[in-house]
């Protein structure tokens, strides 16, 4: 039998497929069907997988080969659309960016819906409260004066000022990893603050004053307790806690 050195220590039932070995993993998924279940419950599924596959691939195998009622969101499968954030082994991750070999496959891989948003079914939560907060910060460019008649230019340095927060894909991994958000669903949350940051520091935008007012609310930026869960969870590598700190500083030093 030939196995790759890079494969993890494999549990039982290793199977040869050419030069690469697949092995049996257990997905422990928190299931909930609101039509029949009074409470969510855990169910185990055995799946044959390769270490180089993603958790999303394993979820597809369960859905397509074992139980078609398993419900989860996904679209691009390449870390772009932000629709498959879930708790994998207790941490918020994108299922399409988490490799099986990195998810401790020698023991059951736990998969559950993100926390803090209403659970609809299995791994699907109601995202509306999340997008309500996003809309609250006015995530669009607010120009001043008349309609522009030519390009609104900015320097490289001005563009770089908010580059990091343009990378957000609105997956909600940050907001739903935040303990303040878990206990106070009214808190705007890290993702909304990241969205506000993207425009507050854009030299072409003239809505900073209004956005900062929204963020100065008692459920705004001051609710952040700097736990860094959001930064750890972000699949885009955004330093979310640092971005929140920049918005706090802008509020403290604002002259407008
Ligand atoms: S900041 Fe990161 S974790 Fe939060 S919504 Fe955007 S991409 Fe997702
Ligand atoms: S499916 Fe699009 S980000 Fe994972």
Per domain, the residue ranges of the chain are 15-124, 127-253
What is the domain class of 127-253 according to CATH?
Answer: mainly alpha
Distance of CA 254 to the CA centre of its chain: 30
Tokens of 149: 């008649």
Which tens digit of pLDDT belongs to each residue from 158-195?
Answer: 999 999 999 999 999 999 999 999 998 899 999 999 99
Which tens digit of pLDDT belongs to each residue from 221-233?
Answer: 999 999 999 999 9
**Is residue 2 predicted with pLDDT exceeding 60?**
no
Burial of 144 (0-12, 13-18, 19+ CB in 10 A): exposed
| Nearest-CA residue for atom 3 of ligand 1 | 234
pTM over 0.75: yes
Q: Which CATH number is correct for 15-124, 3.40.50.880, 3.10.20.30, 1.10.3720.10, 3.40.50.720? A: 3.10.20.30
Write down the pLDDT at residue 186.
92
Task: Look at the block and give the residue holding tokens 């999303």.
Answer: 56
Q: Judge if the beta carbon of residue 235 lies within 6 A of ligand 2.
A: no
Q: Judge if the beta carbon of residue 109 lies within 6 A of ligand 2.
A: no
Distance of CA 54 to the CA centre of its chain: 16
Looking from the CA of residue 172, the nearest atom of ligand 1 is 5
pLDDT-derived band at 7 (thresholds 50, 70, 90) equals: very low
């Amino acid at each position: 039998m030939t196995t790759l050195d890079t494969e993890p220590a494999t549990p039982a039932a290793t199977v040869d497929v050419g030069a690469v070995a697949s092995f049996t993993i257990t997905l422990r998924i928190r299931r909930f069907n609101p039509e029949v279940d009074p409470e969510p419950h855990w169910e185990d599924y055995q799946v044959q997988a390769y270490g180089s596959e993603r958790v999303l691939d394993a979820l597809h195998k369960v859905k397509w080969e074992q139980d078609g009622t398993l419900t989860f969101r996904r679209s691009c499968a390449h870390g772009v659309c932000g629709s498959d954030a879930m708790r994998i082994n207790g941490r918020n991750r994108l299922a399409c960016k988490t490799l099986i070999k990195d998810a401790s496959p020698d023991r059951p891989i736990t998969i559950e819906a993100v926390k803090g948003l209403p659970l609809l079914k299995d791994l699907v939560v109601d995202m509306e409260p999340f997008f309500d907060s996003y809309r609250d910060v006015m995530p669009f460019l607010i120009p001043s004066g008349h309609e522009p008649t030519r390009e609104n230019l900015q320097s490289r340095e001005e563009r770089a000022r908010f580059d990091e927060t343009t990378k957000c894909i609105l997956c909600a991994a940050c907001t739903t990893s935040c303990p303040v958000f878990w206990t106070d669903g009214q808190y705007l949350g890290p993702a909304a603050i990241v969205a506000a940051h993207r425009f507050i520091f854009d030299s072409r935008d003239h809505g900073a004053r209004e956005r900062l007012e929204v963020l100065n609310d008692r459920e705004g930026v001051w609710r952040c307790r700097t736990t860094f869960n959001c930064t750890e969870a972000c699949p885009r590598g955004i330093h979310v806690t640092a971005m929140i700190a920049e918005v706090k500083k802008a509020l403290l030093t604002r002259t407008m």
